Structure 1
């Protein structure tokens, strides 16, 4: 089977695609893959590292306001469709999967027009413009949140979950905590603002560093590479408590996640898929700077099931953050209840579900 995958722009679109490819390779070794992205996107760096054949097309996203740039984008889209048709024909694609980002637009649309089976995968609770557009043309729509079903044609839409979730399972949490200098037998909270970090979260944590040092739990505080030097300067002035480990980035995050009891994080779809797969309660601080405010909607979907608590950035302070951490981590009954609720929201076999969908579509053809 020849499978084309397209997704780009952010890790939230790319990591699920790579996780799906890895899982399919395990299950069916005779599958061949081609990844179509943009040369400017993160996918142009991440995909070749996985030894997956990569081709690029030139495309840009639509502006939400009327502008002359959107006319150029339409022209690029039409050119991208023609480029994509040529690539798909040369590769002999049996199925095309779009995991999000504007690059999927011309690729998946071209496949639909060629009569190739198509699937889009929506990671968020609220879909972006590209997937809304493609939903009219594709054969199947895979979603990660029940709430996302409301935006798509009912007969096409299936809850599959996020393939990235399966990659955090079966990890050695004790080994993960030891690798970052933490005690695996002590209650642990992970505070992380994403791969690049988040300045408002860092500022809040720094204000209560001394207070965190007096807590019975331990803290892994991941600043993000961009902010690490500035945070380190502040720590030199105020001191680094023995129970707080500060890192710029954690390369073995799936292994570390498996050992933590509570996570403070943004509310990106991939993060939530990992947390729910492992049944980790969370305090979610949604980024207010994302399209359609989808992170807050992602967070509220988990909050409504009792799996997380939300702390809006406008309400974030050191005091409010520590208070919320204490209210969960120091209350065994609440912690257990949130763990159970988080686990119920997790879909651990997402990659299997998607592969089953692929096989169903290709059999029909």
Structure 2
């Protein structure tokens, strides 16, 4: 298969695409892939590091108010459509997958006008502006949350889940040992992770709770985010941190450690939800209020409704509220097991295979 993928700006658009590509190459080593992204997005580092060919083009989003900026946005979009048509003619893909971001709007619009099979993948429970626009032109739509279905006026919608889930599920039998971090494998471990950059409000709340966490029988691994580690270290100066609490800038080998986590405290991004539901990790979700259409709140709500997670909104978050919910789960193994089972029922451990089937369907329909 010759696959062109377009999605950019954030990891939430890029990592599912990379997980799908990895699986495609396992199934068919002759697969050829071209990734089309923006000149300034994270894809510039992540995609070449994964050994995938990358082409980029300048793009920007619309502002809600009327401004000259939006005239430039339209100009860049039309220029990107023209550029995309050239890339498509040169690469001759069998199918094109869009995973979100403004760049995928130009690429898939161009592909649809050229009669190339097209598929979009929506990772969130709230449909993004680009995918809403593209839904009028593409052949197939894949979704990760059932809640997204009614937001499209399209007939061909398939619930596949997020390809990242299958990638993580492959590590379910991880042999990772907490002794590598100076902790014990005989005590339940809670991991607190506010994203790669860290989240100031989460960090502040954990610092407030650490004196109490240090008295607990369970263990806590707290990742501050690289940029915020020094700030947290200063805040902890003079506070006794127990041997059961480890404060680190970031967590490497996440797919190997996650299966060993009793409870995760995290944001409610689409990739995180794909990972925890694939493994059945009980989670305390703290949705970011700084995202488009408050979609993280709605992502988390989908899990809370099924008793697969707890939620603390950021305006309710402090050391006390975090401690209460942490104790509720960490001191009740039966509740954790119930939550883990509910989480797994929402997971899609074969998400990449399901999305590959959608891509093949789009190709087959064009051949007929």
Q: Please indicate the TM-score interval, normalised by the length of the shorter structure.
A: over 0.9
Measured after TM superposition, the shift of residue 174 of structure 1 is: 4.5
1:309 aligned onto 2:305: no
Residue equivalent to 1:265:
266
Provide the rounded CA distance (Å) in 2 between the counterparts of 1:170 and 1:120.
25
My pick for the range that moved more, 27-36 or 333-342, is 333-342
1:240 aligned onto 2:241: yes
The 8 Å contact of residues 174 and 184 in structure 1, kept in 2 or not, is answered as no
Residue equivalent to 1:49:
49
Residue equivalent to 2:85:
85
Aligned residue for 2:238, secondary structure, equals helix
Residue equivalent to 2:22:
22
Provide the rounded CA distance (Å) in 1 between the counterparts of 2:113 and 2:178.
50
Aligned residue for 2:212, secondary structure, equals helix
Measured after TM superposition, the shift of residue 197 of structure 1 is: 0.6
Aligned residue for 2:260, secondary structure, equals coil
Unmatched runs of 5 consecutive residues or more in structure 2: none
Provide the rounded CA distance (Å) in 2 between the counterparts of 1:81 and 1:176.
49
- Classify 1:29/1:220 alpha carbon distance in 2 versus 1 (closer, same or farther; 3 Å): same
The 8 Å contact of residues 177 and 183 in structure 1, kept in 2 or not, is answered as yes
Residue equivalent to 1:120:
120
Residues 272-305 of structure 1: CA deviation (Å, up to 9, x unaligned):
1000000011111000000110000101011011
Residue equivalent to 1:68:
68
Equivalent runs, 1:1-365 vs 2, <5 Å: 1-171=1-171, 172-175=173-176, 177-364=178-365, 365=367
Residues 206-261 of structure 1: CA deviation (Å, up to 9, x unaligned):
01211001111000101100110111122232132100011111120011101001
Measured after TM superposition, the shift of residue 331 of structure 1 is: 1.8
Provide the rounded CA distance (Å) in 2 between the counterparts of 1:13 and 1:263.
22
Count of equivalent residues: 365
Provide the rounded CA distance (Å) in 1 between the counterparts of 2:184 and 2:244.
9
Measured after TM superposition, the shift of residue 128 of structure 1 is: 1.1
The 8 Å contact of residues 135 and 154 in structure 2, kept in 1 or not, is answered as no
Aligned residue for 1:83, secondary structure, equals helix
Aligned residue for 2:176, secondary structure, equals helix
Measured after TM superposition, the shift of residue 102 of structure 1 is: 1.0
Residues 314-364 of structure 1: CA deviation (Å, up to 9, x unaligned):
000100000011111212222111111001010110000011111122223
The 8 Å contact of residues 222 and 250 in structure 1, kept in 2 or not, is answered as yes
The 8 Å contact of residues 176 and 258 in structure 1, kept in 2 or not, is answered as no
Residues 119-166 of structure 1: CA deviation (Å, up to 9, x unaligned):
100000001110110011000110000001011135121100000111
The 8 Å contact of residues 136 and 154 in structure 2, kept in 1 or not, is answered as no
Measured after TM superposition, the shift of residue 173 of structure 1 is: 4.1
Aligned residue for 1:175, secondary structure, equals coil
Provide the rounded CA distance (Å) in 2 between the counterparts of 1:66 and 1:161.
37
TM-score normalised according to structure 1 size: 0.98
Provide the rounded CA distance (Å) in 2 between the counterparts of 1:54 and 1:316.
40
Runs of 4+ in 1 over 4 A off after TM superposition: none
The 8 Å contact of residues 176 and 252 in structure 1, kept in 2 or not, is answered as no
- Classify 1:246/1:18 alpha carbon distance in 2 versus 1 (closer, same or farther; 3 Å): same
My pick for the range that moved more, 330-339 or 113-122, is 330-339
Root mean square deviation, CA, Å: 1.2
- Classify 1:179/1:166 alpha carbon distance in 2 versus 1 (closer, same or farther; 3 Å): farther
